[in-house]
Structures are given as C-alpha cells and as structure tokens.
Amino acid sequence: MTKDTTFSSKFGLIAATVGSAVGLGNVWRFPSLAQENGGGAFLLVYICCIFILGIPVMLAEFSLGRAGRSGSVGSFKNLTPGKKWWIAGWFGLLASYLILAFYMVVAGWTIEYLWKSLTGELFEGFATATNQSTFFTDKMKDLIITGSAPIFWTFIMIILNLIILIKGVKKGIEKFSNILMPILFLILLIFCAVSLSLPNASEGLKFFFMPDFDKINSQVIISALGQAFFSLSLGMGILVTYSSYFPKTTKMVRTSITITLLDFSVSVLMGIIIFPAVVSFGINGSEDVAGMTLVFVTLPEIFAQMIGSQWWSALFFLLLSVAAITSTISIAEVSIAFVHDHFKVTRKKACYIILLPMFLFSTLCSISLNGVEWLQIANMPLFDALDKFTANIILPASAFLICLYVGWVLPKNFLKNELTNYGTFRSFVTPTILFLIRFVCPILITMIFITNFIKI
Ligand code: PHE
C-alpha cells in the first residue's frame, strides 16, 4: 500500500491483514508440509512456532511500521537516520520478490481449476474411468505440470494482479475480500462436515492431531518455522507497511493475536478437510502424492463424491483464487511501494516494473516442475528451491534482524511504549513479549539455523 492508503476501520485493518495472511500458505502449503513432516508432530511444533516466534515477530513489525510510518526499508531509515539498518529491510524486499515468482504459479493453478470446474472438464470421464484412484492425479499432471496450460493461467493471474494493483488496493480488493473472506470460512466449515463424515475419518484426524514425538527433528522444526513466517506474512515488510497505517489507538497485541488465530484456524480447518480424505481414499505419502496434490487431487476426489461436484469444486476454487489474489497483491505491493517511493516513478510504472519480469520468472518456476534440467537447483526444481530458500532461510533471517533492531538498537522503552500505546493502558503480557522479542526469538532462530546447517 502506498501513502494515500489508510485503514478506515478496525474491521478493515484486520480484514486486510488477514487477507494477506490467509492464502495458499494455509490451503496448499500447510497440509503438504504437515503430511511430509509427520502430521501431529508438525502441528505441535507449528503451534509453538506461532506463539513463541510468530506473534512476537508480528508485534516487532507492527511497532516498527507504526512508529516508522513507512514501508520495509523506509521505516528503518526514519527511525535511525544515517545508520545502515535499512539494509535489513532489503531482506524482506528480496524475499517478497522471490516468493511472488512461485506463488503466482500456484495462484494460476487455482484459477485454472476454477475454470475447469465451471466448464465441467475437471470431472469429465471420472464416472467411466477404469482407474478412478489415479484419475485426478493424472488430471493434475495434465493441468499443472505438463504443457503450456499452467503458464497460460499464470499469465492470466499476473494480468489480474496488474489490473488490480494499478487501480489501487483499497476500493477493489479490500472491499471484495471483506465479503469473501467470511464466506471462505463458511465454505471451509461445510467441507469439514463432508470430510468428517467419510469412512475412516478418525484415522486421518489421528494422523493430524496426535503427535508422534519421535518424528520431531530439525527438519520438522525448520519447516514449521518457515511455514509460520510464510503463513503470517512475516519477515517481508508487508506488516511493517500495513502497520504504518494503523491509528495510534490500535491495540496491537490484541490485533496480532486475532490475526494469528484466524490464520491458524484456516490451516487447521484445511487439515481437518484433507487428512480424513487422504485416509478414506487410501492416498499415502508415495512420490506421486507429494506436496501440491493434496489440494489439487484430494479435494477434487471429495467433490467427485458429492452431488453437484462441479459446482462445489467451482465454489471452492473461486474462494481459493480470491485468497490467492489477496495475498499476491500484498506480496507485489511491497516491491511496488518501494519502487514507487524510492525511484519516484508513478504507481502505474512501478506496477509494470515489478510485474512484467514476472512473466519470465514465473514461467521458469512453472517449467522447472517439468524436470527441465538446468532449472533444477540443489536436486529440486527451481519452484521448490525458491519456496524453501525464502521461507526457511530469508524470512527467519529477516525476522531475526527485525527483533535485534526493535529489541536492542532502538531505545529501551520503544517497544513498551508501542505495545501500550504510550502507557494509555496496562497489559500484563507486555513484559513477556518484550522478553520474547529481545531474547527468545533471536536465540531460537539462531539455534534452529545452526542445527540445520550442521545437519547439512
Ligand atoms: N501469507 C500468505 C499465505 O499464507 C502468503 C504470503 C506470504 C502473503 C508473504 C504475503 C506475504 O498464503
């Protein structure tokens, strides 16, 4: 968002931030990671990550943005002029741009699935298929991995982003998401009910909710940490920018807890939808069913069991597309606002500067999934490499710097003043949060990093 944008109400403020937070990270990334990392074990570590690290880092970003009255880089400059701390803001900027490249691809799939549901193509041939169990896996390969279709839909997504971002965020998408985000919750609840009524649902719930402590290892911890940052849109300067439009009266601790719990509940609802279905349809963690298949295979399988499959499917992917768009625009906005402010170009130009190269970068991400050799990095497609590198490394590193800056570089009472709105109310959690930001977050992030590197 640029300087002329403000939040008109508390609801708008929370809706915009939740709109950025709730996205494909909850619906596509969270269940995939939970499945890869031991279900309940991952969930448990994830909960620790959001409470011990997520909320404090969010509050550090909020304080930085509200006091600094600018975006990622600008807030550092305003609060400590003449110092080099603004370099920390560049981490967020870099992360957001890299994330945009692969996020746009997944966002493209959501509108492709929406379209193919509306036309009925997604379910065509299912009833008569000889092998129904692999029907949607084959379909997914056709739709999102091979050929030019996924690239076409990614381009459509980039164009949609361009149109919305050039127009400005506030009037269009923010109003749109105010209505659609509550509907997303409602639809999720309906799908939960359907999934829970499947045979063997309890087996799936057991996998998701019962932690097997033996499965907790450094890989699980680093993935959960990365997911916490990714899902809450942390470490990228988004929340710094958004909070620069918070009024001085916003109670930030309460706001951050509300946002975190809403975001978390969407992820948990997705787990409740997906895991019973995984068990019921006998899908296991085989190589065919890595990552993205949970949303693009398992869900269509549930829809196929329902009367009016194609309409349920269309409804779901419509909401998913909206969740994706509210997130892509917030990711793109970080770089656009920066180019707009820093290089003093018009907003329109800034949108083109940031989004036109995406046609190339996202295409590279998309075709890397096809096994193109020169696009494999560290034994994985560019798409996955970017995802893991940004979420697991850059975001935590950027969060680490923000905690050091807010907790140690700025005057000692800075955080306390921000969290209590300059002493206008008392909050018994403030000392705990100060302690978490100053000591626990930096130390934990460092420890997780070191353990991970030693393992490599
Ligand atoms: N938090 C969003 C999600 O969970 C993704 C996102 C990441 C949005 C970074 C903005 C910034 O999908």
Angle (nearest 5°) at CA 295 between 12 and 273: 75
User: Dihedral through CA 99, CA 104, CA 109, CA 115, nearest 10?
Assistant: 150
- Residue nearest atom 11 in ligand 1 by C-alpha distance: 233
Ligand 1 centroid–CA 127 distance in Å is 37
Cα 387 from Cα 212, distance rounded (Å): 26
pLDDT in tens, the chain (456 residues): 444 455 666 676 777 788 889 988 998 889 989 988 989 999 999 999 999 999 999 999 999 999 998 878 889 999 999 999 999 889 888 989 999 999 999 999 999 999 999 999 999 989 888 888 889 988 888 888 887 899 999 999 999 999 988 887 666 666 766 777 788 888 889 889 988 998 889 999 999 999 988 989 888 998 899 899 999 999 888 898 888 878 888 889 999 999 999 999 999 999 999 899 888 776 554 444 456 778 898 889 888 888 899 999 998 898 889 889 888 988 898 888 889 888 999 989 999 999 999 999 999 999 998 888 898 998 899 998 998 888 888 988 999 999 999 999 999 889 999 999 888 887 788 899 999 999 999 998 888 778 766 654
> Which of 331, 386, 387, 395 maximizes ligand 1 atoms within 8 Å of its Cβ, making it the mutation to test the pocket?
331
pTM, to two decimals: 0.88
Give CA separation, 204 vs 2, 104, 187, 276, 372, in Å. Answer: 45, 30, 20, 4, 35
Ligand 1 centroid–CA 284 distance in Å is 27
Ligand 1 centroid–CA 425 distance in Å is 32
DSSP class per residue in 379-400: TEEHHHHHHHIIIIIIHHHHHH
Cα 160 from Cα 268, distance rounded (Å): 29
Residue 381 burial by Cβ neighbours in a 10 Å radius (0-12, 13-18, 19+)? buried
> Which of 17, 20, 32, 236 maximizes ligand 1 atoms within 8 Å of its Cβ, making it the mutation to test the pocket?
20
Q: Residue 103 corresponds to which tokens in the numbers above?
A: 């996020």
Cα 309 from Cα 122, distance rounded (Å): 10
